[in-house]
Amino acid sequence: MSSLEQARTDLPARPFIDYRDGQLMVEGVSAAELARAHGTPLFVYSQAVMLDALAAYQRGFAGRQALICYAMKANSTLAVLRTFVQAGCGLDIVSGGELERALRAGVEPAKVIFSGVGKTRAEMRLALEAGIGCFNVESLPELDVLSEVAADMGLRAPVSLRVNPDVDAKTHPYISTGLKGNKFGIAHTDALAAYRHAAALPGLKVTGIDCHIGSQITETSPYLDAMDRVLDLVDAIEAGGITLEHIDFGGGLGINYHGETPPAADALWQLLLAKLDARGYGQRKLVIEPGRSLIGNAGICLTEAVFLKPGEQKNFLIVDAAMNDLPRPAMYEAYHAIVPVQPREANGEIQSWDVVGPVCESGDWLGRDRQLAVQAGDLLAVCSAGAYCMSMSSNYNSRGRAAEVLVDGDQARLVRARESVEDQLRLESI
Ligand SMILES: *Cc1c(COP(=O)(O)O)cnc(C)c1O
């Protein structure tokens, strides 16, 4: 196999992000040209990949009452939000900052869902003022405080309780959220009592039920199990006289980073809807909160090889992107495919490299034992970098955050300028 053919097999978002005439293209735009125009590291997103991923969910829900709330913590860049909002999505938020971003992106407040275990009173007030669609509440004290805040404003907060179905999502422990020993949600066994408590509070209006069992889920069975457990609860809650307008089934569907084969969103929902139908809930309003599966494979991060540092045990390829830009390898030992932007012809030069950044941490690596033919000055693309990269980035080592470009066909727009040192220093004083 030539190095070009090898690289092509590693690309997770073909045909939208693919080689043409030996050049990596994002839709109709050359990645090398973008790097020349805007510098590196540079995040580039394909709008076609985003809308294609969304379309799979939309197909899955055809003819149903469903609201797709993009979980914006995956990537909260305004232009990304706007793309999903214009395509009809609501947004799942987890902070007051995300609420502000969501509103600036033009979302209808009624299509905003507020998740998270630690909402402050101030955040609750902001969300109530904005008139969001629902608070996904995760504990009894949160119910009490939210009721108090809403009642003080003369309002009733729409709530759904996030229940913990205690199923194993079979994913990385840091991104599994639906098991007992987990900070998220209300234990399955306590859910009924929590619903009774919520229904009796003056500042709340119980509207739904919610669960979210984890992230990067690549199997169908945890979803089916969780659906059964949630519907058992819905049966019990409604038997107790509390009606639920909607069922929110969270997010968590995985993507292909390195040969994973998660179910397609429409195939998964075909199975879940069959279960809902069989149990008599097929016409209930549905909400979902997908993040990674909508944006993960739409993004790449372009980076330049700074130095080659061959060694006795390891060859290090030092690039200008780092753990502050792409924190997932350091955080979860995550795999991102790394491919050359212009693959070299000569196969003989392929060597094994640990691709690392310049940050002063041994954890600052982007890929290990990667087979690459590379020289200093070459451009590389870190794939599957749309989700939980830019939104998790930091200024560690006083590195400015990367710039971001959104591509639509043969048009490319800079949607976030590179952060300068001045930007970083602006809030400080001596
Ligand atoms: C993070 C999160 C999501 C999105 O998860 P993905 O794995 O990115 O789809 C949805 N709902 C809640 C409550 C979350 O915390």
Query: Is 115-290 the same fold as 3-46+296-425?
Result: no
Q: 121 among the known binding-site residues?
A: no
Mutate to test the pocket of ligand 1, among 50, 57, 73 (most ligand atoms within 8 A of CB): 73
Distance CA 255, CA 268 (A): 13
Distance CA 161, CA 182 (A): 16
Helix (H, G, I), strand (E, B) or coil at 295: helix
Write the DSSP assignment of 97-123 as a string of letters.
HHHHHHHHTT--GGGEEE--S---HHH
pLDDT tens string 15-36: 999 999 999 999 999 999 999 9
Q: How many CA atoms lie within 13 A of 42 on its CB side?
A: 25
Q: Model confidence at 227, in pLDDT bands (50, 70, 90)?
A: very high
Cα three-residue angle 244-248-252, rounded to 5 degrees: 165
Q: Per this entry, what is the length of the chain? A: 430
Ligand 1 centroid from CA 179, angstroms: 15
Ligand 1 centroid from CA 402, angstroms: 24
- 360 catalytic? Reply is yes
Mutate to test the pocket of ligand 1, among 54, 75, 92 (most ligand atoms within 8 A of CB): 92
Q: 5 among the known binding-site residues?
A: no
Ligand 1 centroid from CA 205, angstroms: 24
pLDDT tens string 361-388: 989 999 999 999 999 999 999 999 999 9
Ligand 1 centroid from CA 30, angstroms: 32
Q: 252 among the known binding-site residues?
A: yes
pLDDT tens string 324-341: 999 999 999 999 999 999
Read off the DSSP letter of residue 41: S
Summarize the chain as % helix, strand, coil (round to 5): 35, 25, 40
Q: What is the pTM of this model?
A: 0.96
Handedness of CA 54, 57, 59, 65 (dihedral sign): negative
Q: What percent of the chain has pLDDT over 90?
A: 90
| Atom number of ligand 1 nearest to Cα 216 | 7
State the Cα torsion 363-367-369-374 to the nearest 10°: -120
The maximal CA–CA distance of the chain, rounded, in angstroms, is: 73
Ligand 1 centroid from CA 164, angstroms: 14
Q: 361 among the known binding-site residues?
A: yes
Q: Is the peptide bond before 165 cis (omega within 30 degrees of 0)?
A: no
The residue from 134, 211, 301, 360 that is catalytic is 360
Domain 115-290 CATH (choose: 1.10.760.10, 1.10.240.10, 1.25.40.10, 3.20.20.10): 3.20.20.10
pLDDT of residue 178: 61
pLDDT of residue 182: 72
pLDDT of residue 183: 73
Please give the average per-residue pLDDT across 206-210, as a whole number. 98
Mutate to test the pocket of ligand 1, among 57, 257, 289, 332 (most ligand atoms within 8 A of CB): 289
Please give the average per-residue pLDDT across 391-402, as a whole number. 98
Question: Of 309, 296, 367, 305, nearest to 340 (Cα)?
Answer: 305
When the pLDDT of each residue in the chain is averaged and rounded to a whole number, the result is 95
pLDDT of residue 347: 62
Q: How many CA atoms lie within 13 A of 214 on its CB side?
A: 26
Q: 292 among the known binding-site residues?
A: yes
**What residue ranges line ligand 1, CB within 6 angstroms?**
71, 73-74, 92, 115, 212, 215, 250-253, 289-293
CB contact at 8 A, 283 and 268:
no
H/E segment holding residue 305: strand 299-309
What CATH class is the domain 3-46+296-425? mainly beta
The ranges assigned to domains in the chain are: 3-46+296-425, 115-290
pLDDT tens string 72-113: 999 999 999 999 999 999 999 999 999 999 999 999 999 999
Please give the average per-residue pLDDT across 129-157, as a whole number. 98
